[in-house]
Amino acid sequence: MRTIFWKDCVWLIDQTKLPEKEELIACRTVEELIGAIKRLSIRGAPALEAAGAYGVALAAFEREFSDVDEMKRYLVEKAKLLASARPTAVNLSVGVDRVLKKALEGESVEEIRKIALSEAEKVAEEDVERNKRIGENGAKLLEDNDVVLTFCNTGRLATVDWGTALGVVRSAVEQGKRIRVFACETRPLNQGSRLTCYELMKDQIDVTLITDSAVGIVMRKGLVNKVIVGADRIVRDGVFNKIGTYTVAITARYHGIPFYVAAPKSTFDLNKTEKDVEIEERSREELIFCGNKQLAPRDVKVYNPAFDFTPLSLVSAIITEEGILYPPYNF
């Protein structure tokens, strides 16, 4: 099943319910979709690209319009809200902008609806195809019996299907290579333990769950020999990805373990550098509570950035749908 699809409105797998329940939710308005993006019911850069794209289509269908100009103004306004729902992954605004630009070429309400939906479907379709190509390219870096450490979730659930970093593992396994995975739990929202372990076990790919703080011992003991992670935005001087990625990259470098990033070209934002990108800060509650259980004093000061930046000097290669990039990265 695809992570996100259109059937009269936008449907998505509610990732906040996993691994306990695989539940679909319908977003019938842009506001509902923005809510789903903010609470991470849909998440992961490529899945957000599709969500942004479908979101603009949703804006075209969610109400009636008295004329085309009113509709176009409405689409522009909703596109702005969608694109700013989460600031760090560039893919969200890539998906929004692509469909908006195409839709604004339409000359009637009906034509705009048709264009917006067909462009959004293309965005989703292309994501699956490019992930398969990322997988095939990246699988060349994996050998039989490799053990890959990964962070956060970069699989089917973070994309429309297949995955980026986990797509590489999937492709290698499909080619008959025996690959094992160590998945970091990825505190505080546990995309690694809840989502990566869930989807790899479903596909019968060997996965071992570790705490984020076990990365050092796992590398020191030689339990993994490669790292592959995804990316939310690749800028001229480095890679933004889930908080904790930077620490994994430093630890990998210390232990001489290759650190690979897998991402589609739409994640590249090469007019920017580290200082131009906003790192999303999430709520204090994510650290103070785990479900209903209180884990810290209610009034404690909290710093909860959702992403961090890894300089290119720590990245051994970047795997894209167009091939593998190696240092020095001449973007």
Token pair for 251 = 């630890």
Token pair for 300 = 């404690």
Query: Would you count residue 190 as binding ligand MRU (CB under 6 A)?
Result: no
Site string for ligand MRU, 11-50 (x = CB under 6 A): -----------------------------x--xxxx----
Query: Would you count residue 164 as binding ligand MRU (CB under 6 A)?
Result: yes
Given candidates 159, 251, 266, 320, which one binds ligand MRU under the rule CB under 6 A? Answer: 159
Query: Would you count residue 241 as binding ligand MRU (CB under 6 A)?
Result: yes
CB atoms within 10 A of CB 281: 13
For ligand MRU, the binding residues in 89-108 under the rule CB under 6 A are: 89
Taking 3-state DSSP, the helix, strand and coil percentages for the chain, each rounded to the nearest 5, stand at 45, 20, 40
What is the closest distance, in whole angstroms, from the C-beta atom of residue 286 to ligand MRU in the complex?
11
Residue (124 or 158) nearer to ligand MRU, CB: 158
Alpha-carbon torsion 16, 21, 27, 32, what sign? negative
For ligand MRU, the nearest residue by Cβ is 230
What is the closest distance, in whole angstroms, from the C-beta atom of residue 89 to ligand MRU in the complex?
5
Using the rule CB under 6 A, give the single segment among 154-162, 200-208, 293-301, 317-325 that binds ligand MRU. Answer: 154-162
**Beta bridge pairs of residue 30:** none
Using the rule CB under 6 A, give the single segment among 64-72, 94-102, 227-235, 311-319 that binds ligand MRU. Answer: 227-235
Residue (152 or 312) nearer to ligand MRU, CB: 152
Token pair for 129 = 């195809």
The Cα diameter of the chain in Å comes to: 67
Q: What is the DSSP letter of 179?
A: -
Residue (71 or 195) nearer to ligand MRU, CB: 195
Of 161, 232, 269, 308, the active-site residue reads 232
CA 47 to chain centre: 6
Residue (30 or 165) nearer to ligand MRU, CB: 165
Given candidates 3, 41, 137, 154, which one binds ligand MRU under the rule CB under 6 A? Answer: 154
**CA-wise closest residue to 15 among 203, 194, 282:** 194
Whether 186 contacts 229, CB under 8 Å: no
Whether 55 contacts 117, CB under 8 Å: no
Residue (241 or 251) nearer to ligand MRU, CB: 241
What is the closest distance, in whole angstroms, from the C-beta atom of residue 17 to ligand MRU in the complex?
15
Cis amide linkage into residue 87, ω under 30° from 0: no
Q: Which SS3 state, helix, strand or coil, does residue 55 take?
A: helix
Residue (103 or 251) nearer to ligand MRU, CB: 251
Query: Would you count residue 242 as binding ligand MRU (CB under 6 A)?
Result: yes
144 included as an active-site residue: no
Q: Which residues of 33-46 are buried (b: 16+ CB within 10 A; e: fewer)?
A: bbebbeebbbbbbb
What is the closest distance, in whole angstroms, from the C-beta atom of residue 30 to ligand MRU in the complex?
19
Residue type at 259?
F
Q: What is the DSSP letter of 183?
A: E
- The residues that are catalytic are 232
Residues interacting with ligand MRU, by CB under 6 A? 40, 43-46, 89, 152, 154, 158-159, 164, 191, 230-232, 241-242, 306
